[in-house]
Structure 1
Amino acid sequence: MSAAFEAPSVGPVDVSLGEDVAVDVAPDLSGAPTEPVLDSDDPRTSLQTRVRAALLALPGEFEFGNPISGVAATDLFNLNTLLGAGIEVEVVRTLNKLRSMWDPEEEWLGYRFERSSQSFPDVRLVRRDQGTDEIALGIELKGWWLLSKEGEPSLRFQVTPEACAPHDLVCVVPWHLSDAVAGIPQVIEPWVKSARYAAEFRDYHWEHVRNVRVASTDTTIDHPAGATPYPSKADLVVAKPRQDSGNNFGRLPRSHPLMDDFLARSKEHEVLGIAVGSWITFLRRHSDNATPTEVTDFLQRQLKSHVKKVAPGTAEELLALMARMGELLAP
């Protein structure tokens, strides 16, 4: 089967950093790129479909060894820096464990996923034969600590579309600790797209969708000449905008609406019965030099202002939980 995909649903533009300004109108996506239709006769097409399925199956298969504990509340926002590489290594290990899912007929014997943080894409399905690497496809992989202060992945995807093979993917894997501020790292459903499509949509958004403060802003993007898939470390494959005072180019979460639905779903995910978005608000408040008592009082006031929407018993439990969290996160 050929792989045909729909463009993302149209949502509001909400860009507010650097040269971009916040607006609330539906962007014009009439000329936007779409995911490529792949050659149905190419065996890598069915392979890619199965790899996508394996990535979506990660939440039920992911395991991360020892639990994490003893992290101060003010340091929690840095967990992706501390553990991100380990999460990505474990994702690769899990993909290899799921071989029966992406290679049920054993058509890709000798191939395995390998990660190299210095290459693009940083995960490749490769077979090594007498010193020659045969690459079936690649995945640009990024872990996302769900309780990060920014509320979005720190992914910077700046590679030129010409460096993305047709079957390559980009994947963002959201993760959290089982007990929110401690416990075992767990992942939830990732975001998976064609890498070439993501690069092309990023460029389209930069040049045609985002609003800029100054009408004379140059939206041109310079692409390196001669870029090809699976470059070496020395090859030039990074696209560069001529003007980017906010350093926003390549931030896929801000190429609206590319990741909007995924981000919204992820923030609705519950950890210990509380939505991720609420955890971010809670932890951000803690990191702003507030005492545990001040944080608890603030959250209790917010909850009481909405108490009519919450069952009385549930409200009492939430208030007690907030007080307990304040105690646990106290220095």
Structure 2
Amino acid sequence: MSHDHESAGSMKRIFVTGSAGFIGFHLCQLLLAEGHVVCGYDGMTDYYDVRIKHGRHRILGEQGSFSAVEALLEDRARVDAAIDDFRPEVIVHLAAQAGVRYSLQNPRAYLDANVIGTFNVMEAARRHEVSHLLMASTSSVYGANTEMPFAETEKADTQLTIYAATKKATESMSHAYAHLWNLPTTMFRFFTVYGPWGRPDLALYKFVDAMLEGRPIDIYNHGEMYRDFTYVDDLVRAIRLLIDAVPVRPITPEAIEPGDSLSPVAPWRVVNIGNSEKVRLLDFIEAIEESLGIEAVRNYLPMQPGDVPATWADASLLQRLTGYRPQTPYREGVAAFVRWFREYYQK
């Protein structure tokens, strides 16, 4: 396969931060399978078992068109050098300090990685005049909003955790950059992503691990929680399609279609990526029990600080922009995760 991206019209040089992370790994796999040249950037922080991150990078490294840089986002010189060396046409910025609960214990990590780190990526994107900058936000920015399903055109000003606040800050910062430098930018808000190679701090991982070892599982708000569970393959397919849906600054605000979050003053928009299905946590747990053939020992607990009782995405803008919407049923997705987990840990 030719690596001369000038000759291959559709082949792009794509820089992906968080490439050893759960979502970044799956996105890189998809991009490499399509023949793109990918440079990954990951801090390999020990927020969870680094061996999983190294395992993901090892798999990606088997592709000749993948290269990786291991460094922190806060390290501006390293970010600049990596992007200068690679000369990307597109940047997909997924790396972040994740986790709602951990943000209660170590809020500073979120400012360093999410705000400063994202600023470093935006600066490099501006310098290189990339054709499209895509960055991950989160459904957590909807905070205390109660109008469901969540739509991108709603105000989102009531974040409940520092994690969500740092993500909202990056949305605002990127809007300013899109406006000032005419930098086409798409922010996406993810809804509860799960699947093979998932993060050990996520509920599905913790539940399966505990159930296989006969430990009880902690169920918050007595199970009266609803989540819009999005299967990772669906999510990265949506990101891939959004790479081609480059926002263009509207000629007049009136030109913006109803329901489109496109900015009236910048080539910038925010897009939900979710299954558009509100699933009760207890039903999700039942699907895990079914896949494992094990009944969970349930430890019901009150709501945790910073948690929201429900998330539910309106994904109609994604569908309008890409013709695609996530739709893997959660039972199917859970079964795929369980298969991966058993194989990976030989359980």
- TM-score, reference length from structure 2: 0.27
**Structure with bigger gyration radius:** 1
Which gives a bigger RCO, structure 1 or 2 (Cα 8 Å, sep 6+)? Answer: 1
Indicate the structure with greater helix content.
Answer: 2
- TM-score, reference length from structure 1: 0.27
